[in-house]
Amino acid sequence: MMRRPQWSTSRTNPLDQIIHRFQDRWEMDRHFRATLSGALGLVMIVSLCACMGIVTTVANGALAGVSQARDSGGPQNSNTGTGLIKGVPTFPTATVPPWQQGNPPAAGLIPESQTPMPRPTQEPTATNMPGGPGGPGGFPTTCNGGGQGNSTWAMSPCPQIHGQPGTLTISAPKYPNASLNIVIGFGSCNNCGVIFPPGTYSLDASGNATVSYTVPAAAANSTTPITGMINIGGGPTLSINAAPV
């Protein structure tokens, strides 16, 4: 157990005795310390609130004084002291005199032009195109022909239409049941030819045959006539020369 210190009262003054008693209670009595700490905290909070109240009151008073002084200042004086500018309040404008209408100036007659009148251009004279008789450029315009032994051939339709079916009719009465070897070129394009080797088609007992095919689409608007040959077994070879596709 802690013993309380003993203070001599003969060598100390009353203030020292008060301080010694306070120190003694602070060190020995925890309830005293708790009570005094709470009291000091409360005093500090009250002091801070009082200071804030005082500062707020002073600031509001100062701002109110400034606002009152601004509002009571009255209208601003817009006179700069320079005085009014003396002068004519109107601006002179130049007056345009009225238009005086006069007589138009005399003009002489324009002399007639000596350039002769243009005449219509004479149409060009037609010239024969190379390639022999036929259509433009010497191309044939028909789709049929013949050869020896009263042998004939014909294409339908004429001219042939690209991408559409066509037929080749062959008539050779002197060579019944003869085998046929047929080659047809529809132009200068790629894959524009058809071939029917011997054994594909033959003449019937009357010497007639009809060959069916499809005109290549790439032969459209060809600038080359349709060419080819028809070889009749044991008979003549017929040349094909027809209008372009």
pLDDT for position 189: 84
pLDDT for position 168: 95
pLDDT for position 6: 52
pLDDT in tens, 122-133: 665 544 443 334
pLDDT for position 127: 43
**Whole-prediction pTM value?**
0.45
| pLDDT exceeds cutoff 90 at 166 | yes
Confidence of residue 156 (pLDDT cuts 50, 70, 90): very high
Choice among 107-116, 207-216, 217-226 with the minimum mean pLDDT = 107-116
> How much is the mean pLDDT over the chain?
80
pLDDT in tens, 19-40: 888 888 888 888 888 888 888 8
Q: Which has more pLDDT, 74 or 146?
A: 146
| pLDDT exceeds cutoff 70 at 86 | no
3-state secondary structure labels for all residues of the chain: CCCCCCCCCCCCCHHHHHHHHHHHHHHHCHHHHHHHHHHHHHHHHHHHHHHHHHHHHHHHHHHHHHHHHHHCCCCCCCCCCCCCCCCCCCCCCCCCCCCCCCCCCCCCCCCCCCCCCCCCCCCCCCCCCCCCCCCHHHCCCCCEEECHHHCEEEEECCCCCCCCEEEEEEECCCCCCCEEEEEEECCCCCCCEEEEEEEEEECCCCCEEEEEEECCHHHCCCCCCEEEEEEECCCCEEEEEECCC
